[in-house]
Amino acid sequence: MAGATGGADVSSNLCQRHRVVCGVSHRITEPRAVPVSDFPIALHGERVTAVVIGGGAVGTRKALALVEAGASVRVISPLATPELEDAERLRQVTIVRESYRSDHLERATLVIAATDSREVNAQIAVDANSRGKLVNITDYPDEGNFHTMALHRSGDVTIAVSSGGVPGAAARIRDAIAERFDGRYERAVSALRGLRSRLLARDEQSWKTAAPKLLGDDFCDSVEDGSFSEKVNSWR
């Protein structure tokens, strides 16, 4: 769902102006001469105040993923999907039924531009970057400073895959990894977390002794053949 910016129309050179401001013009218009590596991080969702501009399918998907991570989510859009309206009724998101304005970014720690308007998304990029926000531009990722990855969650295990701007490939790779790292690993990690807490409460050296034996080269084999729980129990 697109929100109009209001006031004067966005000038035709907006995208170029943004690229100059953010120093990404060469990354967008020319092939990268030197490989640039991304730096993956995991944010503590409960400490994130997220603003998603756009209430369509993409904005809905992004907003609900942030809700799942525990973030406080505000959606800016004159219209919203039924899924977003359901989330609003459950008090999982706040929907501001307005067209985008720069003051909507106040107090946001993370911004996602997901409207169906190239001009609006480009303006959001300018506004968010100039304010030092974490910002993802869904239709032109190089205008932002982060992109989201293909995720698989299973308990305490989170698998995240990035494939250099080819989301379909990232999803395929994620699914292939997730097929192996199934519920057995969720249970193993949960058991390890509990054991680690107990051993550290006893003394730090106990965990330092146990960890290499539990997390050695045979870790995956023992999880998959069912013997890992016995190994954990031997350290209780």
pLDDT at 107 over 90: yes
- By the 10 Å C-beta count (0-12 exposed, 13-18 middle, 19+ buried), 4 is classed as middle
Q: What is the pLDDT averaged over residues 179-196?
A: 93
- Phi and psi based region of residue 158 (left: phi greater than 0; alpha: psi -120 to 50; beta: remaining): beta
Q: Which residue is it, tokens 């190994």? A: 231
State the amino acid at position 88 in one-letter form. E
CATH hierarchy code of domain 14-148? 3.40.50.720
- 61-89 pLDDT per residue, tens: 999 999 999 999 999 999 999 999 999 99
* Residue 160 CB partners (closer than 8 Å, separation 6+): 40, 42, 149, 150, 151, 174
- Per-residue pLDDT band at 24 (split at 50, 70, 90): very low
On the CB side of 17, CA atoms within 13 Å amount to 12
Apex CA 150: angle with CA 53 and CA 145, to 5°? 50
pLDDT band at 110 (very low <50, low <70, confident <90, very high): very high
Domains of the chain by residue range: 14-148, 150-181, 183-233
